[in-house]
Structure 1
Amino acid sequence: MERLNNFFNIGWIHNLPSVFVVEDRTTIDCLRNEKTEPWVVGWSDRRKVFLLSREKMKTESAREYSIDEYNALLAHELCHLFFNSSTNGVRTPIWLNEGLSGYVSGDIQFKEKPKSFSSFLEFFNKDGAEVYDESAFAIKVLIDAFGKEKILELLQKIKETSGNMTKGKFDDLFKEVYGFEPTYDAFNDLTSPKDY
């Protein structure tokens, strides 16, 4: 929580989130009221975080998790709560939400760096396993080039939309903060192999 409080400049010390460890895929499906994909191993909802038991990762998910990966998973899900607090509950764009969570949680260290950006922007209001492939690295590129304060400024502008977020409106806010529209060319231009 300290790392997240420091990044988001939030002093969240009261009414802390509850963390629930879920024992199996059947329970995950029941709690989410849907059949879930094997990659769904954690999620957050308001002040609650749900994680598949680390001991069940090998049999109930797509892969095993080391202790460090599991800790990053917990931090990733907690980060979603900080994102939601920073945006007054606006969860889109998904790539920004997932990317920031992957970057701040340290989950990015367990991901393979993409050679170039070509898919993360497709995840504005839809989810999918592929959003995790590039989004944290896109956030890293932004923070490395412009600092974390620009991301926090963008979150504040999202918050000011009062939940009425469209892709067009987001693109305008992004351009207002960063001076360019979020495109693959723009993100690829910000990178070089040594930079990230």
Structure 2
Amino acid sequence: MEIIGYSIMTLYNYKNHYTLFTYLEYPALLLQEYLMLFYVLRAKGYLMNKYTPLNVAIYAFALTAFMTEIIPKETLNYLVPICLPLSGIAKVSYIRGMIKASNSDAISIETWAMSSLTNGGRFFSVYMDSGDKHLMFNYGVSVFLSGAVLITAIYYQLQSQEPAISTRRREPSVRRHYHVD
């Protein structure tokens, strides 16, 4: 689902002739997703599955159809809002998982802080560059949800830390009881 979302956002930005620096992270994320998907499919033995080449062909055909405008670029205006639920569902599931487990050890605070800041930066750059309402809404919600994941992770990581001063009474040393003078 992430590959589809990143592809839609890359195509939307490219076809609307926005500056490359406002959406450069999407091609980089796509490359990363392609590599991860390749290694996962190879590790699970699904690389030569009969459906894998078919799905790759459908994906490549859809990209080509958008790039050559067989499918008009206006269609992307209807597809961009779909990317928000794809991203939102993933982030809400992270939050739900942390709350359910009362634990955030699997979540990197640094990664989510960077996500919140980069989404905020993208919101600002889109505002300054094009003022595109679709993108600004997506980035605004993404900033909010990334911030919510970050705050939830910080909360549970602070909850899991032991206090610096132990209130537990220490048992006397064994040497003290059996010390022979």
TM-score using structure 1 length: 0.23
Using CA pairs below 8 Å that are at least 6 residues apart, which structure has the higher relative contact order?
2
Q: Tell which structure's C-alpha radius of gyration is larger.
A: 2
TM-score using structure 2 length: 0.24
Relative to its length, the structure with more helix (as a share) is: 2
Relative to its length, the structure with more strand (as a share) is: 1
